[in-house]
Amino acid sequence: MTRSPVWHPFTQHGLGEPIPLIARAEGASLYTAQGDRIVDAISSWWVTTHGHAYPPIARAIAEQAGRLDQLIFAGWTHQPAQDVAQGLVSITGLPYAFFSDSGSTCVEVALKMALGHWRHLGQGQGQRQRIAVMQHSYHGDTIGAMSIGERGVYNAAYEPLLFAVDTVPFPHAGAEQATYDALERFCAGDDAAAFIVEPLVLGAGGMLFYPPAVLAEMARICAVHGVLFIADEVMTGWGRIGTMLACDQAGVRPDILCLAKGITGGALPLAVTMASEAIYESHYAPDRSKTFFHSSSYTANAIACAAAVANLGVWRDEPVQARIDTLAARQAAGAAMLAKVDGVENVRQCGTILALDYRVPQGGYLSGLQPRLLAFFRERGLLIRPLGNTAYLMPPYSITQEDLTRCHHALAEAVELLA
């Protein structure tokens, strides 16, 4: 058999796994060229919010593509970008929007903004160059984003490229004080620049949840010390965990906020880093050396921005919150059923996300169970991609009750692989 020239991400081609070819998608359904239907229970890596090929977003993309496709964004602008930025200012309460193209890049931008902020402030603040992160975090796969993520098998080879960070422990229930103490110690140092965290749910780190009060307390500690608080809502944003933003549940307004994935409803790559007045102000000067030196060719691509404008329209005009509430309630019911299944542990639900761990002697990302689970779900026409022995559902909000129930049952039946 000839090999495809396509080298897929996070895919070990040497295992000879089949790679299904998808020809079409609609709602929570993917269709192969042969017409087989697969339920996309993970929103194609957490991006698709309302559903695939969502008509108002698809239409906006087509119209924009015929009007203005792409424009250099250094020193030029277009209406879709202005409209997205305005919309995001009212959603986030942060006054400035800097565009980029992916979750990883909006995180890189956040880190650069933080260090640039302290350097440009001067008055001895330039030594604030250290970043603190939370244990088990994931912020992306570019070099800077990897540096602030959990170290493991997936970045071991690149270790020489990564910069050092301070790590606060994950706030396990009952052990939150250890997190606060570590954050206090970091913030007390005169080299502390920023703390970056995934609010309420650590996604790729294993769908680990912590409560809003902990988020609020971490933000408070940073504020007391004047250390920048960066919220990475790349996954949690756009309703995934029940509210538009995870920070909303804790009443927290970060200094810098990272948004991507669902910003276009999941149709096109676009990201944004929202910044506070103070961050923008420290870069604002007649001095060109204080310019924010970050760009890429497709910054604020006009078609992607038009998709984001359409997505904001969907949020404004359609009962999105009611759909999220319905899905969350169905996931809660599924979680209650799964909690009774022998072989399943730590069943948890947060907004539209349901996660659980399969009881295995050796867990972790390279758990031998993972490829077997993947195949088990695939055989049942379900796209569920476990993280090691942790399986989760994070479907588009338009998934039907019937499809969701199928997913819940498949999660339960998969314990047969543990025998």
Q: Quick one: which of 57, 196, 260, 344 contacts ligand PMP (CB under 6 A)?
A: 260
Residues 188-227 binding ligand PMP (CB under 6 A) are 198, 203-204
Residues 346-365 binding ligand PMP (CB under 6 A) are none
**φ/ψ (deg, to 5) at 154:** -75, -10
Rounded Cα distance between 341 and 323, Å, is: 28
Instruction: CB nearer to ligand PMP: give 32 or 142.
Output: 142
Least gap, CB of 269 to ligand PMP (angstroms) = 7
CB 70 within 8 A of CB 303: yes
Closest CA to 271 of 284, 286, 259, 256: 259
How many residues sit in the footprint of ligand PMP (CB under 6 A)? Answer: 15
Instruction: Collect all residues with Cβ–Cβ distance below 8 Å to 157 and sequence separation of at least 6.
Output: none
264 binds ligand PMP (CB under 6 A): no
Secondary structure class of 121 (helix, strand, coil) = helix
Residue whose CB is nearest to ligand PMP in the complex, by number: 103
Instruction: Collect all residues with Cβ–Cβ distance below 8 Å to 300 and sequence separation of at least 6.
Output: 71, 73, 78, 81, 99, 270
232 binds ligand PMP (CB under 6 A): yes
Residues 16-55 binding ligand PMP (CB under 6 A) are 46
Residues 134-163 binding ligand PMP (CB under 6 A) are 138-140
State how far the alpha carbon of 285 is from the alpha carbons of 98, 145, 313, in Å.
17, 28, 35
Rounded Cα distance between 7 and 382, Å, is: 23
Least gap, CB of 198 to ligand PMP (angstroms) = 5
Please state, as a whole number, how many other Cβ atoms lie within 10 Å of the Cβ of residue 290.
14
Instruction: CB nearer to ligand PMP: give 139 or 330.
Output: 139
Q: Quick one: which of 107, 110, 338, 411 contacts ligand PMP (CB under 6 A)?
A: 107
Paired strand residues for 130: 192
Q: Quick one: which of 103, 116, 199, 395 contacts ligand PMP (CB under 6 A)?
A: 103
Which of the ranges 99-107, 164-172, 329-337, 396-404 carries the binding residues for ligand PMP, by CB under 6 A? 99-107
Which of the ranges 188-196, 230-238, 241-249, 370-378 carries the binding residues for ligand PMP, by CB under 6 A? 230-238
Rounded Cα distance between 347 and 336, Å, is: 8
Residues within the interface to ligand PMP (CB under 6 A): 46, 102-104, 107, 138-140, 198, 203-204, 232, 234-235, 260
